[in-house]
Amino acid sequence: MIELAHTGKEKCILVGVPTRLNLKAEVDESLTELALLADTAGAEVVGRITQDRDHPEPATYIGKGKVEELHQRLKNETIPLVIFDDDLSPAQVRNLERLMECKVLDRSGLILDIFASRAKSSEAKTQVELAQLEYLLPRLTRQWTHLSKQFGGIGTKGPGETQIETDRRLIHTRISHLKEKLERISQQRVTQRQGRTKHTRTALVGYTNVGKSTLLNLLAGSDVFVENRLFATLDPTTRIVPLDSAVSILMTDTVGFIRKLPHHLVASFKSTLEEITEADILLHVVDISSPYFEDQIRVVQETLEDLGAGDTPTLVVFNKIDMLQDRSILPTLSEKHPNSVFISAVRGINILGFKEAVAQMLEKEFFIEEIVLPDSKQKLIAQLHDVGEVLDRTYEDGKVKMKIRIHRRDKERFLQMVK
């Protein structure tokens, strides 16, 4: 797995390009988030630069004059790193590094570096390595420039080209191996989920650093790692959470989303994100104290649509209400998001209201049936455990009386089984 070596705080400058498609205010907001990402990666942001353009410059992304201006500042202040807020092509990175004589990183590269440093489990490390290799593959030309010859003509087909092609083949082989490994992990997760069918499955989703892990720790009394930084946890954690004395649910904490999330990561984390697509109910946690929470809601909703979970019943959980300066926005938000609740996971504010809201969603999405079967129909009884959550089961006079909670989407299947 590729991981950048960090020795202390590495100074960097951030670069954003407002275009006709990206307004300056949006770029400023995105650069603020990029600064948090840089801090998480161990860099010290010492400046920001923006350049208004109709469209990015093909060779260097920013104009020639801005490149020269940036180069002079890097030289004067001894700054070794420039981070661009958008993805750069391999040619753009190569040109910028040559002209500015420094290391150049784009947003995807930075996020991948953070994921590499945060990955702890074997699954997370495998997923990150796959994403990194797919990101690195088209950039091999600049990784191997020390082996290529600088003159043309006969005799130039030497070890440089051979090494690049050899490395490409090795990476393709490694990518295939990692994909096979992740496919096996995905099948294992399917088996694990089948063993959890007696509980309703919920998934905590949301922007990174909104308090999902803190909420799970509070509800389940667990010890999921929590830190006030982006992408504190990458691995999904599932716990049983009691809603009341009679009803419990399975709640899974998932990796946080972020704007411009590299598509390599989304593809690589498929087995992890399946926890979202398989959930009965989504709990969309929002940091209401963030000035950008509306945009974060939009990013999460778009990501859920991309994952195929856009139609899953969702409760919007506005978290960190204790940090909110102006509470006059609450009635407007309640009206805009009818399926919502306001809490503070850190302070434990309105957790009972949260549990009641989840219970109400269960009532809407599920129905409860009581059936009586001959106890000889053990195969059917086992199948009913798969189709719903058996709340109660009693045996009397050779019969089995069962009380089952069933998701409305499985209603037809249930009726066909018991008719």
84-129 tens-digit pLDDT? 999 999 899 999 999 999 999 999 889 888 888 877 778 878 888 8
On whether the CB atoms of residues 278 and 236 are closer than 8 A, the answer is: no
d(CA 171, CA 31): 32
Q: Give the tens place of pLDDT for each residue, 7-21.
A: 468 999 999 998 766
Least confident of 107-116, 155-164, 319-328, 368-377: 155-164
Give the end-to-end CA distance of the chain in Å, rounded to a whole number: 55
> What is the model's pTM?
0.76
- CA distances to 7, 36, 132, 268 from 4, rounded to whole Å, are 10, 17, 12, 20
Residue 258 in contact with residue 207, Cβ under 8 Å? yes
Between helix 107-118 and helix 24-41 the angle, nearest 10°, is 30
Q: Average of pLDDT values for 380-405?
A: 85
Question: How far is the C-alpha of 48 from the C-alpha of 165, rounded, in Å?
Answer: 38
In tens, the pLDDT along 253-278 reads: 988 888 887 777 777 677 667 788 88
